Amino acid sequence: MTGSRGILALGALAIFGVTTSSARANDFDWPVSGRVSDTYYSSRPYGYHAAIDISGPSGDAVGAARAGYVSYRGYNGGYGNLVIVNHEAGYSTYYAHNIAFGQAGNVARMTTISYRGSTGNSTGPHVHFEIRRYGSKLYVPASMWDWISKGTGVPWGYTGLTSAPPPVVVHSPQMILDSVGQVWAKNSIGASGWTRETPAGIKAISAGQ
């Protein structure tokens, strides 16, 4: 890669006032604040819960756990008013029992997509939160009565989310600055392969190494 392309990306960092150290490392964020009232392994007649219930006041705004597209919002049996957001690499997140809906279509991380409620099969106001990949429910870590803070990271890594860059803000032919200030560079796998760059890696690319 030429030095001029590296300079373009580094200049973009300066223009937007961000550095790679400020980049968000979380794959998903908690969508709403509250107490964990059911964990992933809570018992159910069909087996285990495979989701996290976050209890709190009805009407609290629920944010998208990651940027994506609202692929479904409507009443869905025991889920009550359900919102599904599709993300890259086959991931989707589910938000159930809402009292009302928020923004549709493309959403950024923490965009309000719904409001906490108690619709469907529910014993009180809470958000039933699931992370899925290709339709299969994935582990979401939390313990009973933990306090969840909206916008903080779900403390778990999810495979495949580094294989493609988030939405582009500024780019050069070989380098991308995404919407949270993370720099990505094309790797040797091919045109579809991207990797996150460390500050040292960026310096090397900008020098044409």
**Which residue range is the domain that position 11 belongs to?**
3-25+161-206
Give dist(CA 187, CA 127) in Å, integer. Answer: 39
74 and 97 co-located in one domain: yes
pLDDT at position 17: 34
Report the range of poorest mean pLDDT among 41-45, 136-140, 173-177.
173-177
Domain membership of residue 126 (yes or no) is: yes
pLDDT computed for residue 185 by the predictor: 58
Which amino acid type is present at position 191? A
Specify the pTM: 0.68
Are 72 and 43 in a shared domain? yes
Same domain, 120 and 93: yes
Computed on alpha carbons and rounded to an integer, the radius of gyration of the chain in Å comes to: 19
pLDDT at 172 over 80: no
Residue 89 vs residue 75, higher pLDDT:
75
User: Percentage of residues in the chain with pLDDT exceeding 90?
Assistant: 57
Those residues whose C-beta lies under 8 Å from the C-beta of residue 171, and which sit 6 or more positions away, are 9, 177
The pLDDT tens digits for 111-146 are 999 999 999 999 999 999 999 999 999 999 999 999
Report d(CA 182, CA 41) in Å as an integer: 34
Question: Does residue 107 have a pLDDT over 50?
Answer: yes
